[in-house]
Amino acid sequence: MKRTHAFIFDLDGTLVDSLFDITHALNHALMKIGESTVRSRDVRSWIGDGLPTLCRRAVPKADKKTVRVLVREAVSHYTAHCAANTRPYPNVLQMLELLRATHTAAAVLSNKPHDLTLRLVSELNMGKYFSDIRGCTSEEDKKPSPHSALRFADALGVRPADVFLVGDSSVDIETARNADMIAVAVTWGFTDRSALLAAGPDFLLDDPAEIPQLPRKKK
């Protein structure tokens, strides 16, 4: 069956609200190395560029060795507790069910480490909705690099221009631009509406229920 369009979804802040668990893992790691804990509202603005960058933002004056230890401790704690409080946002599961019912291809593309991305999707029993799930395996493939998004489109035989890349950050919008895909920003995640508008997405959505309607609205 020839596909006319497909969707690529960011994970944290787009499909699932993971702020509490990420903040808890980071604070656990900070306490382990004797640093002050941070507030969830600060972590909210730091998410999106991968865990090493998140840790560097939490301790901007720390040396590389300290950051490496912090990352290791945060990953260890988060791996064990990644789904403790994380849940899909309202209407996300209904939206994914509709995409699956209409045989619409969907994928996950996250800057979270690949094994943690797979683990979280599995823990939340969401794997059945996606034909591909990819986390970050190298700096070269980390968003806003278009490489992973383009590989997904190529594997499905869908033109990049017919792929909706859905995310809650300017990084996701930039990834879509770099891949010549359709940039869809969502307001229920970790980035303020004004910042999303400033990044210039093709669509700005307030409810996951709007996502299946996008192919009909495509310019």
- The pLDDT tens digits for 72-98 are 999 999 999 999 999 999 999 999 999
63-67, 173-177, 199-203: range with lowest mean pLDDT: 63-67
| Number of domains composing the chain | 2
Taking residues 32-61, what's their average pLDDT?
Answer: 92
Q: Average the pLDDT over each of 23-32, 46-55, 120-129, 160-169 and give the range with the smallest value.
A: 46-55
- Note whether 12 and 27 are same-domain residues: no
Same domain, 147 and 73: no
Domain that holds residue 26: 19-81
Q: Stretch 92-115: mean pLDDT, rounded?
A: 96
Distances (CA, A) of 185 to 16, 99, 129, 173: 15, 18, 20, 7
Percent residues over pLDDT 90 in the chain: 89
Query: Is 1 inside a domain boundary?
Result: no
**CATH number, domain with residue 96:** 3.40.50.1000
Span 202-219, pLDDT tens digits = 999 999 999 999 988 775
Residue after which a domain boundary falls, among 30, 63, 81: 81
Location of structure tokens 């307001």: 187
Interval 169-191 mean pLDDT: 98
If you average pLDDT over residues 64-73, what whole number do you get?
A: 94
Residue 51 has a pLDDT of 84
Q: Which long-range contacts (CB under 8 A, 24 or more apart) does 178-181 make?
A: 178/144, 178/145, 178/146, 179/146, 179/149, 179/150, 179/153, 180/146, 181/8, 181/146, 181/149, 181/153
The mean pLDDT of 12-16, rounded to a whole number, is 98
200 & 181 share domain = yes
Strands 16-17 and 87-88: antiparallel
Judged by average pLDDT, the poorest of 9-23, 44-58, 142-156 is 44-58
Residues 153 and 173 in one domain: yes
Residue 3 confidence (pLDDT) above 80:
no
What would the mean pLDDT of 96-110 be, rounded to a whole number? 97
Which pLDDT score, from 0 to 100, does residue 11 have? 98
Query: Same domain, yes or no, for 136 and 147?
Result: yes
- In this structure, are strands 132-136 and 163-167 parallel, antiparallel, or unpaired? unpaired
Give the side-chain half-sphere CA count within 13 A for 96: 23
Interatomic CA distance for residues 56 and 69, integer angstroms:
11
Query: What does the mean pLDDT of the chain come to?
Result: 95
Distance between CA atoms of residues 186 and 203, nearest Å: 8
pLDDT confidence bin for 101, thresholds 50/70/90: very high
pLDDT of 50 reads: 83
pLDDT of residue 209: 98
What's residue 49's pLDDT? 86
Q: Are residues 188 and 95 in the same domain?
A: yes
